[in-house]
């Protein structure tokens, strides 16, 4: 692989603040299995479910406030607010302007919503790296968040969940993790889609595995490792998109990463698949425990299809700043189990008019 496929900003950049949010309701897989499949277990233990008054905007707002608390900058210095999601509350009207107004960045900045299934959040992160790395901006905010819906009874209903993570990208000398390089790999692959005006997505069944998830993540990961002349053992941690538990474990094994490297960032068993929030919330949970000098590989995957890969190196600034906002584990611990009936109410699956 030609190392020119790895992207580098004109000036060094990094993450100066990060923060996540996970709603407190949990639907155990056994509940979905009980209602639709006559009992048994599902692919994960349980998934996070948004409450009645939560959506991608409110999730993004809390994640962004946590990122701001860690960045310790004036929100008015942020020049872009980008929100990646496949569950924006409005069909027409940006989520990003709601988030921006709530955290006080308005009005002098770019704002837009991005869409690319589960990689919309890392797409926003790539754009933020470009804006700050070119010198056009000191700071840019990138968010990935979703309140994902699976069709009742479909395999995706076990895992489609809610949550999100925000990053503030800034100059490397202020960063708690600096960027070593990034790479993106996309093809036109129809593994999963949702047509306009449809409430639930459709997918290609078994077609979603090898040619979609595995091919794109492996190509992106192998590309960035080759380009940066790095090997799996050079990393303390690796995070891969996590639609379930098995896929990220299998792709890690194929690439030569160990279960230990995955451990802190593999959250799908306890929160489900937060779609645009999935890989980056795993990254956030990994930053919650990482030490200075450690390297972290992050590879997202979005259906349609594509992957973004990033290599980060943790700085001395992380330990002190991570204490300024809740950890991902604080949100995971805040847990209220619900049954399928309450879930159906919270996720608007009941027809009341």
Q: What is the dihedral of CA 273, 274, 279, 282, to 10 degrees?
A: -90
In the complex with another protein, the residue whose CB is nearer, 161 or 178, is 161
Assess 33 for contact with another protein (CB under 8 A).
no
Task: Count each helix (H run) and each strand (E run) in the chain, helices first.
Answer: 12, 14
The interface region with another protein, picked from 58-66, 196-204, 235-243, 280-288 by CB under 8 A, is 58-66
CB of 284 to another protein, least distance (A): 15
Please give the order of strands across the beta sheet that includes 162-171. 110-114, 78-84, 139-147, 162-171, 13-21, 177-189, 304-314, 295-299, 237-240
Contact 192, 202 (CB under 8 A): yes
Does 203 participate in catalysis according to the annotation?
no
Assess 49 for contact with another protein (CB under 8 A).
no
Q: Which of residues 321-340 bind another protein (CB under 8 A)?
A: 326-327, 330-331, 333-334
In the complex with another protein, the residue whose CB is nearer, 110 or 342, is 342
DSSP 306: E
Give the active site residue among 54, 109, 118, 203: 118
Assess 57 for contact with another protein (CB under 8 A).
yes
Task: Give 1's Cβ-side CA count (13 Å radius).
Answer: 19
Assess 81 for contact with another protein (CB under 8 A).
no
Kindly determine how many residues on this chain lie close enough to bind another protein according to the rule CB under 8 A. 23
Q: Which of 12, 89, 209, 256 binds another protein (CB under 8 A)?
A: 89
CB of 239 to another protein, least distance (A): 23
CB of 268 to another protein, least distance (A): 22
CB of 331 to another protein, least distance (A): 8
Does 138 participate in catalysis according to the annotation?
no
Assess 98 for contact with another protein (CB under 8 A).
yes
Q: What Rg value do the Cα atoms of the chain yield, rounded?
A: 19
246-255 helix and 215-227 helix, angle to the nearest 10 degrees: 40
In the complex with another protein, the residue whose CB is nearer, 55 or 313, is 55
* Residue bearing tokens 């805040």: 334
Assess 115 for contact with another protein (CB under 8 A).
no
- List strand residue ranges (DSSP E) for 156-277, in order: 162-171, 177-189, 192-193, 202-203, 237-240
Assess 62 for contact with another protein (CB under 8 A).
yes
Please give the order of strands across the beta sheet that includes 25-28. 46-49, 25-28, 336-337
Task: Give 154's Cβ-side CA count (13 Å radius).
Answer: 14
Assess 141 for contact with another protein (CB under 8 A).
no
Give the active site residue among 46, 62, 86, 174: 86
What is the length of the chain?
A: 353
Assess 90 for contact with another protein (CB under 8 A).
yes
Does 118 participate in catalysis according to the annotation?
yes
Best CA proximity match to 320, nearest among 118, 71, 116: 71
- Residues with active-site annotation: 86, 118, 241
Provide the binding-site residues for another protein, judged by CB under 8 A.
24, 51-55, 57-58, 61-62, 89-90, 98, 101-104, 326-327, 330-331, 333-334
């Amino acid at each position: 692989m030609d190392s020119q496929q790895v992207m580098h900003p004109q000036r060094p950049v990094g993450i100066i603040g990060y923060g996540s949010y996970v709603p407190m309701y949990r639907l155990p897989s056994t509940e979905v299995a009980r209602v639709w499949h006559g009992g048994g277990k599902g692919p994960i233990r349980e998934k996070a479910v948004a409450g009645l008054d939560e959506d991608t905007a409110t999730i993004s707002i809390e994640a962004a406030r946590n990122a701001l608390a860690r960045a310790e900058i004036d929100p008015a210095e942020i020049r872009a607010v980008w929100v990646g999601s496949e569950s924006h509350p409005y069909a027409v009207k940006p989520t990003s302007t709601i988030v921006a107004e709530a955290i006080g960045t308005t009005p002098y900045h770019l704002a837009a919503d991005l869409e690319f299934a589960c990689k919309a959040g890392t797409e926003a992160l790539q754009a933020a790296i470009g804006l700050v790395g070119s010198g056009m901006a000191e700071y840019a905010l990138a968010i990935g968040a979703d309140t994902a819906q699976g069709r009742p009874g479909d395999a995706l209903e076990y895992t489609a969940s809610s949550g999100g993570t925000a990053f503030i990208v800034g100059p490397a000398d202020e960063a708690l993790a600096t960027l070593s390089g990034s790479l993106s790999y996309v093809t036109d692959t129809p593994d999963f889609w949702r047509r306009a005006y449809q409430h639930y997505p459709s997918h290609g069944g078994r077609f979603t595995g090898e040619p979609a998830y595995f091919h794109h993540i492996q190509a992106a990961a192998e590309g960035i490792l080759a380009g940066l002349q790095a090997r799996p053992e050079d990393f303390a941690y690796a995070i891969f998109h996590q639609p379930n538990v098995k896929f990220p474990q299998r792709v890690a094994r194929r690439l030569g990463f160990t279960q230990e490297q995955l451990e802190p960032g593999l959250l799908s068993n306890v929160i489900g698949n937060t779609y645009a929030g999935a890989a980056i919330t795993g990254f956030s949970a990994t930053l919650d425990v990482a030490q200075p000098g450690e390297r972290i590989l992050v590879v997202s995957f979005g259906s349609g299809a594509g992957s973004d890969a990033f290599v980060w190196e943790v700085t001395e600034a992380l330990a002190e700043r991570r204490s300024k906002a809740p950890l991902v584990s604080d949100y995971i611990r805040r847990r209220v189990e619900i049954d399928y009936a309450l879930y159906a109410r919270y996720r608007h699956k009941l027809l009341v008019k």
